[in-house]
C-alpha cells in the first residue's frame, strides 16, 4: 500500500498514534534536559526526532513504496535504542527520570504499531481493520441516505465509504480503465500505420504508371522527329524523277540512267539497307508468353517466340511495336538479348 500524508490525517487511529508518539518524544526530551543526560543518551533523543521527520517527509512526498524497507530498518534500530534509554531512566529514582521512561514507553509502543502497519500488505487483516474503522460511526446514516440513489443507479461506480473491500474495488476499477485506454490507443496506432502504408503503395503505383506513360510518349515523339529528319535529308521522289523502266534488255544508250538518277538510286538503296539493319538489330523474340495488365492500357500482350520491334530499351520495361502496328511497353526479362 502506498501510504501518504492523507492516510495519516484521514484515519483517526494512525493520527492518534502520531500525536501520542510526538507527546512521548516531548516527555523524553524534557526528562533528558531535567535529569542532565550526557553521552549516548542525547544521541538517542536526537535520533528519534530525526526519524519522525524522515517518516513525515516520505509520506508528504508519497514515496513510501521506494523507502518502505528503509523505514522499517530505522524503526527497528529506534526500538532497540529506546529500550536501552527506558532502562536507564527506570534505574533512577527521581521523578523526571520516571516521566522520561513513560515518554519512551509511549514512543516505543507507537513505533511497534507503525512497524505492523508499514510492514503489512494492503490485503492484511491489520490494514483492513484500521481502515474499516475509519468511518464506522456515520456508516449507518450514510447507508440510509444513499439507498434510494444506489438502487436507481446500478451502473454507478463503487466508491469507498470507509471499508477496505470498497477501497480495493476502486483500485481494480482504475486499473481496468487504464488497461482499456492503453488497448484502444494501441489499436488506433495500428490503424494509422495500415492507412499510411496503403496510401504509400497507391502513390508509388501511380508514379510508376505515369513514368511508363511518359516514356511511351517520348518514344513516339522521337519516332516522329526521326521520320521528319529522313524526309528533309532525302525528300520523296516526284513522278518526273522516277527513272523509266527499260522495255528491253538490249544494251542501248537511251535506257542507261543519268548521273542524277544513279545518285538517287544509290542514296535510296543505302537508306533502305541501313533501315533494314537497324530493324533487324531491334527485333527480339519472346522467351515466354505474357498477358498485359487490364488496369494498365500501356502494356502489350504477346505469345511465346513472337518477334517484336524494340523502340526504346531504357529501364526494365521496353517500348515495343508488334507486327500489327500496336505500340506499348513489355517486360525486358521476357526476351532474349
Question: What tens digit of pLDDT does each residue of 142-152 get?
Answer: 444 444 454 54
Output the average pLDDT for the chain: 74
**Higher-confidence position of 6 and 225:** 6
pLDDT above 90 covers a percentage of the chain that reads 19
**Higher-confidence position of 136 and 334:** 334
pLDDT at res. 220: 58
pLDDT at res. 235: 53
Q: Band of the pLDDT at 74, cuts 50, 70, 90?
A: very high
Mean pLDDT to the nearest integer, 264-271: 50
pLDDT at res. 289: 92
**Residue 197 scores a pLDDT above 70:** yes
**Residue 76 scores a pLDDT above 90:** yes
**Higher-confidence position of 210 and 150:** 210
Mean pLDDT to the nearest integer, 54-76: 89
CA end-to-end span of the chain, whole Å? 79
pLDDT above 70 covers a percentage of the chain that reads 66
pLDDT at res. 219: 52
pLDDT at res. 242: 43
pLDDT at res. 97: 87
**Residue 225 scores a pLDDT above 90:** no
**Higher-confidence position of 155 and 1:** 1
Task: Give the cell for residue 295.
Answer: 488496369
pLDDT at res. 122: 77
* Per-residue model confidence as pLDDT tens digits over 236-252: 544 444 444 443 333 33
**Residue 217 scores a pLDDT above 70:** no
Amino acid at each position: 500500500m502506498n501510504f501518504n500524508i492523507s492516510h495519516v490525517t484521514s484515519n483517526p487511529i494512525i493520527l492518534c498514534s502520531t500525536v501520542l508518539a510526538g507527546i512521548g518524544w516531548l516527555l523524553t526530551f524534557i526528562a533528558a534536559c531535567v535529569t542532565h543526560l550526557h553521552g549516548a543518551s542525547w544521541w538517542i533523543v536526537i535520533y528519534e526526532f530525526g526519524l519522525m521527520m524522515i517518516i513525515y517527509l516520505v509520506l508528504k512526498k508519497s514515496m513510501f513504496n521506494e523507502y518502505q524497507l528503509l523505514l522499517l530498518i530505522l524503526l527497528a534500530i529506534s526500538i532497540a535504542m529506546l529500550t536501552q534509554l527506558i532502562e536507564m531512566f527506570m534505574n533512577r529514582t527521581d521523578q523526571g527520570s520516571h516521566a522520561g521512561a513513560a515518554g519512551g514507553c509511549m514512543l516505543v509502543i507507537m513505533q511497534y504499531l507503525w512497524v505492523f502497519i508499514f510492514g503489512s500488505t494492503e490485503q492484511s487483516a491489520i490494514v483492513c481493520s484500521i481502515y474499516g474503522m475509519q468511518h464506522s460511526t456515520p456508516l449507518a446514516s450514510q447507508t440510509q441516505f444513499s439507498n434510494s440513489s444506489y438502487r436507481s443507479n446500478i451502473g454507478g461506480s463503487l466508491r469507498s465509504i470507509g471499508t477496505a473491500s470498497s477501497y480495493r474495488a476502486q483500485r481494480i476499477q482504475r486499473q481496468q480503465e487504464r488497461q482499456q485506454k492503453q488497448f484502444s490507443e494501441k489499436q488506433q496506432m495500428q490503424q494509422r500505420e495500415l492507412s499510411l502504408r496503403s496510401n504509400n503503395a497507391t502513390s508509388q503505383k501511380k508514379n510508376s504508371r505515369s513514368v511508363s506513360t511518359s516514356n511511351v510518349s517520348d518514344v513516339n515523339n522521337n519516332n516522329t522527329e526521326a521520320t521528319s529528319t529522313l524526309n528533309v535529308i532525302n525528300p520523296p521522289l516526284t513522278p518526273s524523277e522516277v527513272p523509266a523502266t527499260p522495255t528491253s534488255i538490249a544494251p542501248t544508250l537511251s535506257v542507261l540512267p543519268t548521273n542524277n538518277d544513279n545518285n538517287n538510286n544509290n542514296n535510296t538503296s543505302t537508306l533502305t539497307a541501313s533501315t533494314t539493319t537497324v530493324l533487324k538489330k531491334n527485333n527480339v523474340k519472346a522467351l515466354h508468353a505474357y498477358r498485359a495488365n487490364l488496369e494498365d492500357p500501356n502494356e502489350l500482350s504477346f505469345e511465346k517466340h513472337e518477334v517484336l520491334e524494340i523502340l526504346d530499351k531504357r529501364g526494365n520495361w521496353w517500348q515495343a511495336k508488334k507486327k500489327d502496328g500496336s505500340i506499348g511497353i513489355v517486360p525486358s526479362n521476357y526476351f532474349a538479348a
